[in-house]
């Protein structure tokens, strides 16, 4: 479980500035919840639960990921990079089809689940995402903002295409470390890096293999130039980029209809919906099945809703404190991988 709480830089509760910052944080995260709660896509992190505690604290509960694209410790192969980018594109296209722009795609906001041979990308963090066709806010991460965010009065969802291009670049060639120039929107791209990589890959290969390698790297450069075009009018949309020949053999992710109601299997409901004592009788489930499910919940004590309920009814006794520490240790051990 991951809990996200807005906090001001100043922790003095009587400071007016601190209260204003807290209120901004609450509004910021409320916007995130409103957008995020309706998303239902295999490559978008699911919002399991959200609740407000006190005046200024909002808790967002989501599956816990061991890694993000920024700190994944193993090397990502060429083929794997394009599979992950295709998944990120599919999630982004889903958002765009629902009239929403992410606006902060970057490696730290791409969480990874699955095994080394079967990595899956999950788009996260919708704090500055916005509905609408055009946007005016300059918010974003320096180095990943498209040029038009810095120099134009408005921008559209092609800023996500720019960010995806940078993510792909980072997986293939290493970090970009662009230095932004607000006056020109300058993010200088060294295209010689692509040519050097192309030459290195073809060095020790025979003529036919070298020709094939050169063709692939020419396609890589073609895709990157379309995603990283400095002028939005020359830049591809994410949907157009997904049709590039490099993704021909990667099937699109099947997602529900845009913002359709979620369909949940009955067997998955009890651990996420209600504590054992409030579990209603459900048609089609025998009393033995309900008893088994109830006892399992009591054993593992891992239901997000149960935990959230406990937050507001804390017992400060010594025995209760030890029990909470034991449960925390179990949860830390249990959630070493994504809970899907």
Hey, what domains does the chain have and what are their CATH numbers? 67-247 (1.10.510.10), 267-340 (no CATH)
Task: Label residue 183 by pLDDT band (50, 70, 90).
Answer: low
Q: State the average pLDDT over residues 200-209.
A: 66
Taking a C-beta distance cutoff of 8 angstroms, is the pair 283, 266 a contact? no
pLDDT for position 256 = 65
d(CA 9, CA 55): 17
Taking a C-beta distance cutoff of 8 angstroms, is the pair 304, 1 a contact? yes
Element (DSSP H or E) covering residue 58: strand 57-62
pTM above 0.85?
A: no
pLDDT for position 340 = 34
pLDDT for position 277 = 40
Query: Which parts of 37-105 fold into alpha helices (H)?
Result: 78-97
3-state secondary structure of 86: helix
Is residue 334 predicted with pLDDT exceeding 50?
no
Side by side, which strands form the sheet with 67-68? Answer: 67-68, 110-115, 118-123
Top-confidence range, 93-97, 136-140, 214-218, 316-320: 93-97
Percent of the chain at pLDDT above 70? 61
Is residue 326 predicted with pLDDT exceeding 80?
no
For residue 180, give Cα distances in angstroms to 129, 159, 175.
Answer: 21, 15, 15
């Amino acid at each position: 479980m991951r809990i996200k709480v807005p906090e001001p830089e100043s922790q003095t509760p009587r400071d007016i500035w601190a209260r204003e910052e807290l209120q901004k944080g609450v509004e910021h995260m409320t916007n995130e919840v409103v957008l995020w709660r309706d998303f239902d896509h295999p490559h978008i992190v699911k919002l399991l639960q959200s609740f407000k505690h006190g005046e200024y604290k909002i808790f967002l509960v989501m599956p816990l990921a061991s890694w993000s694209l920024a700190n994944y410790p193993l090397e990502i192969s060429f083929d794997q990079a394009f599979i992950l980018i295709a998944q990120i594109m599919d999630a982004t296209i889903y958002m765009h089809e629902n009239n929403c722009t992410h606006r902060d795609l970057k490696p730290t906001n791409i969480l990874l689940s699955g095994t080394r041979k079967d990595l899956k990308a999950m788009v996260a963090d919708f704090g500055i995402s916005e509905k609408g066709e055009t946007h005016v806010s300059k918010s974003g991460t320096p180095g990943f903002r498209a040029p038009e965010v810095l120099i134009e009065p408005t921008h559209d969802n092609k800023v996500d295409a720019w960010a995806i291009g940078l993510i792909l670049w980072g997986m293939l060639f290493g970090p970009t470390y662009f230095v932004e120039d607000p006056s020109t929107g300058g993010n200088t791209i060294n295209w010689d890096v692509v040519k050097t990589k192309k030459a290195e890959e073809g060095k020790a290969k025979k003529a036919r293999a070298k020709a094939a390698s050169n063709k692939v790297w020419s396609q890589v450069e073609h895709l990157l130039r379309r995603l990283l075009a400095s002028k939005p009018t020359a830049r591809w949309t994410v949907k157009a980029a997904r049709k590039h020949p490099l993704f021909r053999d990667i099937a699109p992710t099947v997602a529900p209809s845009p913002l359709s109601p979620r369909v949940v299997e009955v067997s998955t409901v009890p651990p996420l919906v209600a504590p054992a004592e409030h579990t209603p009788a459900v048609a089609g489930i025998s009393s033995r099945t309900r008893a088994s499910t109830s006892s399992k919940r009591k054993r593992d004590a891992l239901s997000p809703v149960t935990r959230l309920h406990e937050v507001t009814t804390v017992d400060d006794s010594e025995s209760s404190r030890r029990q909470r520490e034991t449960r925390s240790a179990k949860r830390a051990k249990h959630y070493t991988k994504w809970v899907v």
